[in-house]
Amino acid sequence: MPGQKDKLFYQELLDTCLTAGQLMIEGGSEMYRVEDTMVRIAKSAGESDPRVFVMPTGIFMSIDHGNYCQSILVHERNINLELVDRINSLSRAFAAREITLRQVKSQVFKIAHGGFPVFPLWLQTIGAGILSATLMVMFMDNYDWVDFPAAAVVGAIGFVSFYYFKRFTKVKYLAELVAAMIMTIVTVGLVRLFPAMIIDNILTGALMPLVPGLALTNALRDLFKGDLLSGMGKICEAMLTAFALGGGVGIILKFLGA
């Protein structure tokens, strides 16, 4: 039977690996990258045969030939590639013996409990507005420059609506539905005030910050890698988001007769 020291070490290793994997999934990482990072941490700590099973909604891991096994659930999945990079860098620094396991655990738990800096809401809103306007230009051939600021304004309003409704409802797809409805209402109002604007151009650009492009890309990457379960799960998640956005736009356009 393993001693008390071994139990503490294995528990610390499991906690570190599982929390690191959870943070990477929450940041939008591919499943193979999560597995690779967790296995790297475990092997660098001296574990010869770590076993990891990763899904978008949870992680299972066993070490010491199956004597220690633990799981963790993942409830939130967003886009924060800086978070993914930070955790991956910690694992590589640990593999290079630049830091200790305790330091890795301390940094990982610090990030997990709100110690990771994020961009303020006002800056994210400005970014959403710029992205909306520029992507409208990219995707729409027939547009007028009057649509450019309109797409930026509507995209920023939609992003803020999604941000606050998601915090209020805790249901991502409902928040996307409401945000799409608000964006459509604002767009219809702008078009009626300024008839030169084109509603299709504005909505196409404004919806882009909420379109699940990264989720689809990661889903295809997982499918090509052979992670069929996680790939199909992410595709379903992306489709639900697309249905929510399209449904919100369609409901308002039908109701207002635009």
Tell me if 245 sits within 8 A of 207, measured CB to CB: yes
When pLDDT is cut at 50, 70 and 90, the band that residue 221 belongs to is: confident
User: Is the per-residue pLDDT at 117 higher than 70?
Assistant: no
| DSSP β-ladder status, 68-73 and 51-55 | unpaired
Q: Is the pTM of this model over 0.85?
A: no
Dihedrals phi, psi of 54, to nearest 5 degrees:
-115, 135
Q: State the DSSP code for 60.
A: E
For 43, 51, 62, 76, the CA distances from 69, given in Å and listed in that order, are 16, 9, 4, 23
User: Is the per-residue pLDDT at 4 higher than 60?
Assistant: no
**pLDDT digit string, tens, across residues 152-201:** 999 999 999 999 998 888 778 899 999 999 999 999 999 999 888 889 88
- The pLDDT value recorded for residue 130 is 94
- The pLDDT value recorded for residue 161 is 93
Residue with the larger pLDDT of the pair 115 and 109: 109
Cα 140-143-149 angle, rounded to 5 deg? 100
Distance CA 136, CA 200 (A): 10
Least confident of 10-24, 60-74, 212-226: 212-226
Q: What is the mean pLDDT of the chain?
A: 87
- The pLDDT value recorded for residue 24 is 92
The rounded percent of the chain whose pLDDT value lies above 90 is: 43
Tell me if 54 sits within 8 A of 77, measured CB to CB: no
- The pLDDT value recorded for residue 258 is 59
- The pLDDT value recorded for residue 98 is 92
Mean pLDDT of 84-111: 91
User: Is the per-residue pLDDT at 112 higher than 50?
Assistant: yes
- The pLDDT value recorded for residue 1 is 45
H or E element in which residue 54 lies: strand 51-55
CB-based contacts of 111: which residues, under 8 Å, 6+ apart?
Answer: 23, 83, 86, 87
Mean pLDDT of 126-140: 89
Quickly list H helices, 46-100: 81-95
**pLDDT digit string, tens, across residues 29-64:** 888 889 999 999 999 998 888 999 988 888 999 998
